[in-house]
Structure 1
Amino acid sequence: MRALLSIDYTNDFVATDGKLTTGAAGQAIEQALVAVTKDYFQQGDLIVFAIDGHDPNDRYHPENKLFPPHNVIGTSGRKLYGALADFYQANQADEKILWLDKRHYSAFSSTDLDIRLRERGITELCLTGVCTDICVLHTAVDAYNLGYRLTIPENGVASFDEVGHTWALNHFKNTLGATIG
């Protein structure tokens, strides 16, 4: 069984005026990301929207020292971007759709994601979204360490750092054994 993890494809990470935007790089993957999402949905696979949720007043969260406030809970910046938002809006009530709030880079860190995947018999994950070299990378490493097989569509991930993006794609393939599609 397989699942798609759609990571942080939100207004703050993708829109031109987003608080921590990948800009054109993130916008360029929209059609491919939506296409793979629809394909997984039509095949009956689980789709997990793993989305950062931050409180800028949380003085203990390390990201608040590293990055400007982004994906703040209750703001439009935390909403899905573009056509992915339309897909979610139309299908959010379906049992194959799961929204997962996350506080750290990895979708597995301090969440029940692993339990939810295992109770459904899922052994293979496809990772899409942003940023390739931050949240997608940390999720991929945790997934690998938990024994999941990984697929990462090259045209379904993006970053604001092209060098980091390329490095992460190589790391997925050469260190984590992921299939890069």
Structure 2
Amino acid sequence: MKALISIDYTNDFVATEGALTTGSAGQAIEQAVVEVTKIFTKNNDFVVYAIDRHEQQDQYHPENTLFPPHNIAGTTGRKLYGELADFYEKTCEQPNVYWIDKRHYSAFSGTDLDIRLRERNITEVHLIGVCTDICVLHTAVDAYNLGYKIVIQKHAVASFDPVGHEWALNHFQQTLGAEIIE
């Protein structure tokens, strides 16, 4: 059994005016993100939207010293970007679609993702979204440590750092044994 984990494809990470945007790199993968999500949803695979959520008043979060405020609860910056937002609205009530608010880079950290995957006998996770070298990477490392087979949909991941993006793709394959789908 397999699952799709769609990571942080929100306005703040993708839109031109986003608070921590991947810009054109993130925008260039929009069709791939939507198409992969449609395929997994149509096949009735488990589709997880793992979305960063920060609180405006959270002065203790370690990202506050690393990045500008982003994906703040209740803002348009935290909403899914472009066509993915429309597709999610049409499918969010389906039993195979699940939304996770995450506070850390990894979709596994502090969430019930591992439990949700195991109760469905899922052994393989496909990762898409942004940023390749931050949240996608940390999710992949945790998936590896938990024993999941990892598949990276290369055409559906992006970063604001081209060097970090390429390094992460190599790391997925060479260090985590991930399959990279072009």
Structure 1 residue 145 corresponds to structure 2 residue 141: no
Query: Displacement of 1:79 after TM fit?
Result: 0.4
One-letter amino acid of the structure 1 residue matched with residue 97 of structure 2? I
4+ residue runs over 2 A deviation: none
SS of the equivalent of 1:153 reads strand
Query: Displacement of 1:56 after TM fit?
Result: 3.0
Match of 1:24 in 2: 24
Within 1, Cα distance between the matches of 2:155 and 2:33?
7
Match of 2:161 in 1: 161
Cα deviation, 1:52-97, whole Å, max 9, x if unaligned, reads 0001321111001110000000101000000110110100000011
One-letter amino acid of the structure 2 residue matched with residue 176 of structure 1? L
One-letter amino acid of the structure 2 residue matched with residue 12 of structure 1? D
Within 2, Cα distance between the matches of 1:90 and 1:112?
24
Work out the number of aligned pairs and report it. 181
Structure 1 residue 83 corresponds to structure 2 residue 80: no
Within 2, Cα distance between the matches of 1:51 and 1:165?
19
Match of 2:39 in 1: 39
Structure 1 residue 105 corresponds to structure 2 residue 105: yes
One-letter amino acid of the structure 2 residue matched with residue 88 of structure 1? Y
Within 1, Cα distance between the matches of 2:79 and 2:59?
24
Match of 1:13 in 2: 13
**Stretches of structure 1 lacking an aligned partner (at least 5 in a row):** none
Query: Displacement of 1:3 after TM fit?
Result: 0.3
SS of the equivalent of 2:21 reads coil
Within 1, Cα distance between the matches of 2:37 and 2:177?
22
Query: Displacement of 1:153 after TM fit?
Result: 1.1
Cα deviation, 1:128-181, whole Å, max 9, x if unaligned, reads 000000000000000000000011011110000000000000000010011100
**Stretches of structure 2 lacking an aligned partner (at least 5 in a row):** none
- 1:56·1:64 contact (CA, 8 Å) conserved in 2? no
One-letter amino acid of the structure 2 residue matched with residue 70 of structure 1? H
One-letter amino acid of the structure 2 residue matched with residue 101 of structure 1? D
Structure 1 residue 121 corresponds to structure 2 residue 103: no
One-letter amino acid of the structure 1 residue matched with residue 54 of structure 2? H
Q: Please report the RMSD computed on the Cα atoms of aligned residues, expressed in angstroms.
A: 0.5
Within 1, Cα distance between the matches of 2:75 and 2:56?
12
Q: Percent identity?
A: 70
Within 2, Cα distance between the matches of 1:138 and 1:129?
12
SS of the equivalent of 2:116 reads helix
Match of 2:58 in 1: 58
- 2:47·2:96 contact (CA, 8 Å) conserved in 1? yes
One-letter amino acid of the structure 1 residue matched with residue 147 of structure 2? G
Within 1, Cα distance between the matches of 2:88 and 2:15?
17
